Chains A and B, each alone.
Chain A
Amino acid sequence: MATLTLKQLKKQYPNGYKALHGIDLDFGEGELIVIVGPSGCGKSTLLRTLAGLEDISEGDLEINGKRVNDLEPAERDIAMVFQNYALYPHMSVFDNMAYGLRNRRTPKDEIQQRVSEAAELLGLTELLDRRPKQLSGGQRQRVAMGRAIVRKPQVFLFDEPLSNLDAKLRVQMRLEIRRLQKRLKVTSVYVTHDQTEAMTLADRLVVMNEGHVEQFGTPMALYDKPASKFVAGFIGSPAMNFLDATLEDASEGSGQDATLALPCGARLALRPETTVIDTVINNTLTLGIRPEHLDVLETDSPLPKGAAELNVQVELVEPLGADTLAYCRLAGQTEPLVVRLDGEHVVAEDQQLRLAITPARAHLFGADGRRLTTCS
């Protein structure tokens, strides 16, 4: 168990490419941290610098408050599960797991004991004599984890460990990793590009984009209050809808409502206590609303107080069973508006829908993509 601290961590490759631009993060003991982001956002590079497989160009990395920048991977007491598992093909499952212990000159009977403990924990006892190529994908995945576990390291690193498994097995292994991590209470850093995996596994979540940390917090905090348009679009599935909007008539100090005008003509009243910075008045902003937060109104029911009404035409329907996704056309908007409906709600293509946006569910982002914290 360990704490992990990153201070202004920077990584620049010899060819001049800057992969990480000053990362500041602080991971607590026994936490499962998930780093998520699109391809090329620097998440794997960050993990590899933690492992010591990549040099740190600038800044500090501390484990338990001790600077480890210059320590070799072997000296950091970190174990890593690789994306392709990186099992040694010429060794049995037992030898794969025992390799790290043998390199540390652990006594034979202790190796035997630790490996059989880990094997039992992971259900590998029957497979200890097999070679990796005689195992299924899920079993290989387990061996890779077993190899990390037997060493009892300070920190576990996972580099997209589930991306080579089929969908069903992925869900199962996800639960298993979560259960195992809670049981062993080892600080873990898990990299993935799959936001569902990220949301379900993480104690806390790091969203990265282009070598920067966009936001760091609990999954629900990121879902409820995304710090930027990027995070808003990345967390949650299907992704958040974005609408262009203009802020009008803030009437400073008058106690009057500020109004958000949408290109389709709808207007959303912001609550009087909302203070909006002058500079964003009359500027183009982005209104974000999640598909599950768009309410469908019956034809004759009244609009809830403070809500804005959108009239849309359904273009495409995706029934998922529990939910139905409706892709709708909204005047003045090129991207379709996605609405998540209850699975029992029957909608037909070309049907007209009345939707309501409530201010409490709306997210507002400035031209720079940052969240305008005052909009609630």
Chain B
Amino acid sequence: MAHFNRHPITPWLLMAPQLIIVGVFFFWPAFQAIEQAFYIEDAFGLSREFTGLTNFISVLSEPEYLETLWTTMVFSFSVALGAMALALGMAVLADRVIRGANTYKTFLIWPYAVAPAVAGVLWLFLFDPTLGILPELLSAIGIDWNHNLNGNQALLLVVLASIWKQMSYNFVFFLAGLQAIPKSLLEAAAMDRAGPWRRFWTITFPLLSPTSFFLLVMNVVYAFFETFGTIDATTSGGPGGSTRTLVYKVYEDGFVGQDLGSSAAQSVLLMVIVGVLTLIQFKYVEKKVQY
């Protein structure tokens, strides 16, 4: 029989590449951010002073921060629910297609390959008040579109762009989930006198719940963090901060405003918020999931 020497260092060596990457690109900056959050630094980055919780207190007492938090919530849940609902609809339709199914699927997955900033610009052009096609059409039905002036319209625009970008991802998972449901279950339900609508809500939808739950977590995280590029390229948080999300504010205050202490405190808060949200999802939503 072969004899294996278990040297205590071997596992660490094998894990080293991954550990180094996570350490350098995640733990180190995260630790730095946490540290930074307790200091106030001068504008040139030459000296800093330990100030305890001052950064956190000033951030939380800022009305603008709470406004941003509210905007982020509205934005995130609109994006998550919108992207999931549309993707589910598309997946149900694509699942029924027999001829040319692969072509459909490829086209529906494509937007995922588009960079967030490009996706933002694409929608920006579509909705541009002077150049775009859609405002032209909207004006025909009496809607005056100008997201450069109207905050709600601007929010709607970034929500649309973010949904469009994320839908493909959700689509792939929903389609896989649908295809994993045995056809005989739906046939049995059909014989049990359930119409298509009832079959969907009593059989298909409950059986998709593990997929839906996973996607809900992923989509909220996406909406919180990964929509930065889309927002920056489309509205840059404007007009008047109406599309400023928490991540965007971290960037504005830190890199544009050079208030590194406050920015760091905000990222720590952001981490906590997303952590709490995910916890809530696991605690309450997961109970309703049928595995």
Binding site for B on A (CB under 8 A): 51-53, 72-74, 78-80, 82-84, 86, 88-90, 99-100, 103-104, 147, 151
Can you list 5 A-B contacts (CB < 8 A)?
A74-B190, A82-B188, A83-B184, A88-B188, A88-B189
CA distance A48 to B97 in the complex (A): 21
Write the chain B residue with the least CB distance to A98.
Answer: B192
Q: Which residue of B lies closest to A131 (CB)?
A: B290
For A53, list chain B residues within 8 Å (CB). Answer: 187, 190-191
Please state if B184 and A86 are interface contacts (CB–CB under 8 Å): yes
Binary contact readout B156-196 vs A (1 if CB under 8 angstroms, 0 otherwise): 00000000000000000000000000101101111111110
B290 near A99 with CB under 8 A, answer: no
* B88 vs chain A, min Cβ distance (A): 17
State whether the Cβ of B48 lies closer than 8 Å to any Cβ in chain A. Answer: no
Q: Closest CB of chain B to A269's CB: distance in Å?
A: 56
User: Which residues from A are CB-within-8-Å of B187?
Assistant: 51, 53, 73, 80, 82, 86
Q: Which chain A residue has the least Cβ–Cβ distance from B290?
A: A90
Contact status of A99 and B191, CB under 8 A, knowing A84-B182, A86-B185, A90-B206:
no
Chain B's nearest CB lies how many Å from the CB of A12? 16
Chain B 45-84: CB-based contact to A (< 8 A → 1; otherwise 0): 0000000000000000000000000000000000000000
**B290 near A103: Cβ-Cβ < 8 Å:** no
Counting chain A CB atoms within 10 Å of each CB, which of B182, B193, B194, B203 scores highest? B193
**With A86-B182, A100-B193, A103-B193 already in contact, 18 other A-B pairs whose C-beta atoms are closer than 8 Å:** A53-B187, A73-B191, A74-B192, A74-B193, A78-B191, A79-B191, A80-B191, A82-B184, A83-B184, A86-B187, A88-B185, A88-B203, A89-B290, A99-B202, A100-B191, A103-B194, A104-B193, A151-B192
The interface residues of chain A lying within 8 Å CB-to-CB of B193 are 74, 100, 103-104
The answer to whether B192 touches A90 (Cβ under 8 A) is: no
From B182, B192, B195, give the contact of A99 (CB < 8 A).
Answer: B192
Residues of A within 8 A of B182 (CB): 84, 86
Q: Which 5 A-B pairs have the closest CB atoms?
A: A100-B192, A90-B290, A86-B188, A86-B184, A74-B193
- Known A-B contacts A90-B290, A100-B193; the reply to A84 vs B184 at CB < 8 A is yes
Please give, as numbers and ranges, the residues of chain B lying within 8 Å of A147 by CB-CB distance. 188, 192
Residues B190 and A99 in contact, CB atoms below 8 Å apart: no
Contacts of B184 in A (CB 8 A): 82-84, 86
A103 to chain B, nearest CB (A): 4
B262-291 near A? 1/0 per residue, CB < 8 Å? 000000000000000000000000000010
Closest to B205 in A: A90
List the interface of chain B (C-beta within 8 A of A): 182, 184-185, 187-195, 198, 202-203, 206-207, 290
User: In the complex, A191 Cα to B283 Cα: how many Å?
Assistant: 47
Given contacts A53-B187, A84-B182, contact A103 B207 (CB under 8 A): no
A56 CB, min distance to chain B CBs, angstroms: 16
Report B-chain residues with C-beta under 8 Å of the C-beta of A99.
Answer: 189, 192, 194, 202
The docked-state distance in angstroms from the alpha carbon of A95 to that of B193 is: 14
Residues of B within 8 A of A86 (CB): 182, 184-185, 187-188
> What's the Cα separation between A78 and B190 when bound, in Å?
11
B185 lies within 8 A of A73 (CB): no
Q: Are A51 and B191 in contact (CB under 8 A)?
A: yes
**Least Cβ distance of A54 to chain B in Å?**
10
**Quick check: A103 and B192 within 8 Å, CB to CB?**
yes
Contact A103 to B206, CB < 8 A, known contacts A72-B190, A74-B192? no
Q: How far is the CB of A363 from chain B (nearest CB, A)?
A: 40
Contacts of A80 in B (CB 8 A): 187-188, 191
Q: How far is the CA of A88 from the CA of B187 in the complex (A)?
A: 11
Residue of B nearest to A100 (CB): B192
Q: Are B190 and A73 in contact (CB under 8 A)?
A: yes
Q: Give the residues in chain A near B192, CB-CB below 8 Å.
A: 74, 99-100, 103, 147, 151
In Å, the complex CA distance between A184 and B127 comes to 67
In the bound assembly, the distance between CA atoms of A83 and B188 in angstroms comes to 11
Q: Which residue of B lies closest to A153 (CB)?
A: B191
* Contact partners of A151 in chain B: CB under 8 A: 192
Cα distance A80–B187 in the bound complex, in angstroms: 9
Instruction: Flag if A74 contacts B191 (CB, 8 Å).
Output: yes
In the complex, what distance in Å separates the CA atom of A104 from the CA atom of B182? 24
A74 in contact with B188 given A88-B203, A90-B290 (CB within 8 Å): no
Closest to B206 in A: A90
A51→B191 CA distance, assembly (Å) = 8
Indicate which residue in A78, A83, A103 contacts B198 across the interface (CB closer than 8 Å): A103
Q: Give Cα distance in the complex from A247 to B55, angstroms.
A: 108
Nearest-neighbor residue (CB-CB) of B181 within chain A: A89
A74 and B194: CB pair below 8 A? yes
Q: How far is the CB of A63 from chain B (nearest CB, A)?
A: 14
Find the residue from A78, A80, A88, A104 having the highest chain B CB count within 10 A: A88
A191 vs chain B, min Cβ distance (A): 14
Contacts of B189 in A (CB 8 A): 88, 99
Residue numbers in B under 8 Å from A51 (CB-CB): 187, 191
Q: Which residues of B contact A52 (CB under 8 A)?
A: 191
- Bound complex: CA A52 to CA B290 (Å): 30
Query: How close is B182's CB to chain A, nearest CB, in angstroms?
Result: 7
C-alpha gap A69/B245 in the complex (Å): 59
Least Cβ–Cβ distance between A92 and chain B, in angstroms: 12
Tell me the bound Cα distance from A83 to B187 in angstroms: 12
Q: Chain A contacts of B206 at CB under 8 A?
A: 90
A90 to B191, Cβ gap below 8 A?
Answer: no
CB nearest to A99 among chain B residues: B192
Chain B residues in 8 Å Cβ range of A72: 190
Expressed in whole angstroms, the Cα–Cα distance for A83 and B198 within the complex equals 24
Known: A82-B184, A84-B184. A89 touches B191 (CB 8 A): no
Q: How far is the CB of B208 from chain A (nearest CB, A)?
A: 10
Q: Give CA–CA (A72, B191) in the complex, Å.
A: 8
Give B213 Cβ to nearest chain A Cβ, in Å. 14
Q: Are B194 and A90 in contact (CB under 8 A)?
A: no
* Bound form: Cα–Cα A100–B195 in Å: 11
Q: Which residue of A lies closest to B199 (CB)?
A: A103
